[in-house]
Amino acid sequence: MTYRKPDITLPLKEIHRLEKLKEYQILDTHSEDTFDKIALMASQIFNTPCAFITFIDQDRAFLKSNLSALPINEVEREGTLSSLTIFNDDVTVFNDTHTQPELMENQFIKGENGIRFFAGVPLKSPEGFNVGVLSVADYVPREATNLQLDMLKTLSKIIIDKLENRLRYRKSIESQINLMNIALHEIKNPLASINLANDIIRKDITTKDKMTGMIKSSVARIQKRLSDLLKQSELEEKDLVLSIEEINLRDMFTRLLNNFELLAHRKKQVIELHCDESLPCIEGDKSKISDVLHNLLSNAIKYSYHGSCIKVSAREAGNYIHIEVKDEGQGLNFNDIQKLFTKFAKLSSKPTGKETSNGLGLSISKSFIELHRGNIYAMSPGKDKGATFIVSLPLKYTTPNDIEAIAEFN
């Protein structure tokens, strides 16, 4: 084989390759018997003293399995034979590296006991990204047979299969944890409403009819959310699924304000709704959009001061509905905004009425809005200057297949 330094002309592909490598969570892990046995099989097939399973990071090569006299588990990426191998979709073979002048300055090749023979095959993910290399090496020149090279390819596929199986298992566990977190978060607010309504009934029996209606509505909401989540957990596909229907946002806002009337009244807060009479309906999952707005309004009440005003507005903006929830609360600093939609993020603001917070609501809201091809973000002039959360939702829901069809047409 003639050596040729690769020309990296696809930086975007390299970014995706590194993302896939990171997704496997294999870098900087301890050696494992499973991978060491595969490397051993490779060395036995070729009858070589060295075999490696190497994963190529941005600036380094991490040796997951190192069956050699080298007392290291990572080296600089530049100049390694494995870093050359990932640019080839087929096997890379050097029967004698000393016949390639360009390689003679390589620290692992030049000098006594340098590598003379090398055969490596890329570890190709199902998406087509070469994340690493399975290789064998010897200190003397030798020839590789086609059968040996085919067996090396087979072993490389086994490595990827193991990585993908681990990834699927991890995602399955993460999905179940996410479903549990969503369930816990979604029943928290209705339970708070039930508890508050019960306290009011005990103090003022004249409010019985209104409070029992609220309790019934909250219980129904909990039952529906738990039922939806149980169905979701039974699906083979672990991603959240949307139930698309027409949504009248004005009706949704009215119900939300009724649900939060008591909580706001307890802190002497006022909720103002500014919504165009001609606001069009949108297509989306009603329960998930309601959950998002419920969370934003709940947070506005939770983090705003007593006696303050909360403004909720909605208007049509082109092919989108623009929704804002603006409060006069503690506001957000730069660090808050940077990590605002991260799970379990600890922010500088604290609930003003001793309410509790688990740090999940905004991350869940973000995932729901993005499933609708929408956007959610926040703005704040600074601490103690209030905050505004903005949600943009398309009037018409577009499936991934629709997006691909539009892209192909254009």
DSSP string across 285-315:
EHHHHHHHHHHHHHHHHHHSPTT-EEEEEEE
**pLDDT band per the 50, 70, 90 thresholds, residue 4:** very low
> How many whole angstroms separate alpha carbon 317 and alpha carbon 395?
10
309 and 163 in one domain?
no
pLDDT at 402 over 60: no
Q: Which residue has the tokens 């949600």?
A: 391
Residue 315 sits in a domain of what CATH number?
A: 3.30.565.10
pLDDT digits (tens, 9 = 90+) for 8-31: 444 667 888 899 999 999 999 988
Quick check: is 191 in a domain? no
CA distances from 27 to 83, 150, 172 (A): 15, 27, 21
My answer on whether 143 and 254 are in the same domain is no
pLDDT band at 249 (very low <50, low <70, confident <90, very high): very high
The mean pLDDT of the chain is 82
Number of domains in the chain: 2
Q: What is the pLDDT of residue 408?
A: 45
The answer to whether residue 185 sits within a structural domain is no
Same domain, 257 and 399: yes
Q: Do the domain assignments include residue 24?
A: yes
Q: Per-residue pLDDT for 134 more than 70?
A: yes
Boundary residue ending a domain (141, 168, 195): 168
Would you place residue 358 in the very low, low, confident or very high pLDDT band (cuts 50, 70, 90)? low
Rounded percentage of the chain residues whose pLDDT exceeds 90: 41
Whether residue 342 is contained in a domain is answered as yes
Q: Which residues of 47-79 are buried (b: 16+ CB within 10 A; e: fewer)?
A: ebebbbbbbbbeebbbbbbbbbeeeebbbebee
pLDDT in tens, 61-79: 999 999 998 888 899 988 7
Question: pLDDT at residue 95 above 90?
Answer: yes
pLDDT at 183: 64
| pLDDT value of residue 6 | 47
Q: Are residues 254 and 142 in the same domain?
A: no
pLDDT score of 357: 67
Mean predicted confidence (pLDDT) in 302-320: 93
Same domain, 146 and 263: no
User: For residues 68 and 42, is the Cβ–Cβ distance under 8 A?
Assistant: no
Q: Determine how many CB atoms are found less than 10 A away from the CB of residue 136.
A: 26
Determine, yes or no, domain membership for 126. yes
The confidence score (pLDDT) of residue 35 equals 94
| Top-confidence range, 212-226, 246-260, 382-396 | 382-396
In a domain, 105, yes or no: yes
For tokens 């297509």, the residue is 283
Task: Let me know if 338 is exposed, middle or buried by CB neighbors in 10 A (0-12, 13-18, 19+).
Answer: exposed
| For residue 234, pLDDT beyond 80 | no
**Pair 153, 262 in one domain:** no
pLDDT for the residue numbered 245: 92
Instruction: For 155-185, write each residue's pLDDT tens digit.
Output: 999 999 999 888 877 776 666 666 666 666 6
User: What confidence tier does 344 reach under pLDDT thresholds 50, 70, 90?
Assistant: low
pLDDT band at 406 (very low <50, low <70, confident <90, very high): very low
pTM of the entire predicted model: 0.49
Q: Are 154 and 279 within one domain?
A: no
- Written as one letter, the residue type at 36 is D
Domain of 338 in residue numbering reads as: 242-410
- 8 Å CB contact between 264 and 310: yes
Q: Residue 56 is part of a domain; what is its CATH number?
A: 3.30.450.40
User: Is the pLDDT score of 153 beyond 70?
Assistant: yes
From 153, 168, 183, the end of a domain falls on 168
> Which of 168, 200, 226 lies at the terminal end of a domain, its last residue?
168
Beta-sheet pairing, 388-394 with 320-326: antiparallel
Q: Is 263 inside a domain boundary?
A: yes
187-207 pLDDT, tens digit per residue, is: 666 666 676 666 666 666 666
